[in-house]
Amino acid sequence: MKIKRGRETVVFQIIAMVVLAVCALISVLPFLIIISGSLSNNELISREGYSILPKQLTPQAYTTILRIPESLLTAYRVTIVNTLVGSLTGLICMSMAGYVLSRKNFRHRNIISFLIYFTTIFGGGLVPWYIMISNTLHLKDSLLAICLPLIMSPFMIILMRTFISNNVPDSLVESCRIDGAGEFSIYLHIVLPLIPSGLATIGLFLGLMYWNDWYMSSMFISTPAKFELQFYLYNMLSGFEAFKQMNTASVTESVSIPSETVKLAMAVFVTGPIILLYPFVQRFFISGITIGAVKG
């Protein structure tokens, strides 16, 4: 049996589809231009500008990059390892911190919560932070320097705490203790399985933060083999601009200028994997956003 649809519903659906189609087109167009540009002839782009369909199809940009794929692959490896290690460690640390802070019988929890919260309002600023990491911790040019600073985020700890105290009743923890469970096994076997969507949310936040990070590389890394992917790209694109500005008043020395098409091909290489990953992660991502919206 069919439910009869009213005229207005049909009209609304048509309008909605048209509007959505236009929106989708607007979102997809830049990608199309990037992809078609990366397949075009560089001289034509410079002379006539970009177009939606490639002019003079040529894989030249890709072959240029793939002639020396090592540096790109190294950057990929750094970012992937960093994202995995950082997100996992971060999840463990923050869920533990959140759990401890959610326990009502933890004596100084208010003070400690406040201290964690305090850092979101007042920070030392860039210079002390830099001195801390480079001179006190001696992490300059170490992979730890791009991993450690992002591991703990006050906001996410507080989010985690709220999430745990809302989803894990105190009585459950108490009865576990009566049954003889130790603190760590309560955390591991009782609390963690109860908060999968909380972990997914924080994990996604962290994962995206690590994947998109370039600033840590820029600040602390001087060995190109330790650059994150995003910085590798950013540096390639911005480096020449900066160089040009510095040198407006002096002799331009030979600096190889990446051609337009090579830049675009790089963009394809960098965005490609994360776009392919999206359909699989999207499910969690949507639930993650709702959690953030309600509990944040």
Of 151 and 191, which CB lies nearer to another protein in the complex structure? 151
* Position 154 contacts another protein (CB under 8 A): yes
Compute the least distance from the CB of residue 184 to another protein, in Å. 30
Compute the least distance from the CB of residue 47 to another protein, in Å. 5
* Position 273 contacts another protein (CB under 8 A): no
Compute the least distance from the CB of residue 176 to another protein, in Å. 32
**How far, in Å, CA of 232 to CA of 75, rounded?**
7
Compute the least distance from the CB of residue 185 to another protein, in Å. 33
* Position 242 contacts another protein (CB under 8 A): yes
State phi, psi for 169 to the nearest 5 degrees.
Answer: -65, 145
Contact pick of 104, 178, 248, 279 for another protein (by CB under 8 A): 248
Contact pick of 13, 120, 175, 271 for another protein (by CB under 8 A): 120
Interface stretch with another protein, choices 79-87, 107-115, 187-195, 213-221 (CB under 8 A)? 213-221
88: which 2 tokens?
A: 């996992």
Do the beta carbons of residue 145 and residue 133 sit within 8 Å? yes
**How far, in Å, CA of 99 to CA of 114, rounded?**
16
Do the beta carbons of residue 171 and residue 107 sit within 8 Å? no
Contact pick of 163, 187, 205, 269 for another protein (by CB under 8 A): 205
* Position 188 contacts another protein (CB under 8 A): no
* Size of residue set near another protein by CB under 8 A: 53
The footprint of another protein on residues 32-91 (CB under 8 A) is 42-43, 46-47, 64, 67-68, 71
Contact pick of 12, 31, 106, 155 for another protein (by CB under 8 A): 155
* Position 124 contacts another protein (CB under 8 A): no
Nearest to 264 by CA among 5, 31, 99: 31
Of 14 and 255, which CB lies nearer to another protein in the complex structure? 255
Compute the least distance from the CB of residue 106 to another protein, in Å. 23
Interface stretch with another protein, choices 2-10, 21-29, 243-251, 270-278 (CB under 8 A)? 243-251
Do the beta carbons of residue 53 and residue 269 sit within 8 Å? no
Give the interface with another protein as residue ranges (CB under 8 A): 42-43, 46-47, 64, 67-68, 71, 120, 123, 125-127, 130-131, 134-135, 140-141, 153-155, 205, 215, 218-219, 222, 224, 231, 234-235, 238-240, 242-257, 259, 292, 296
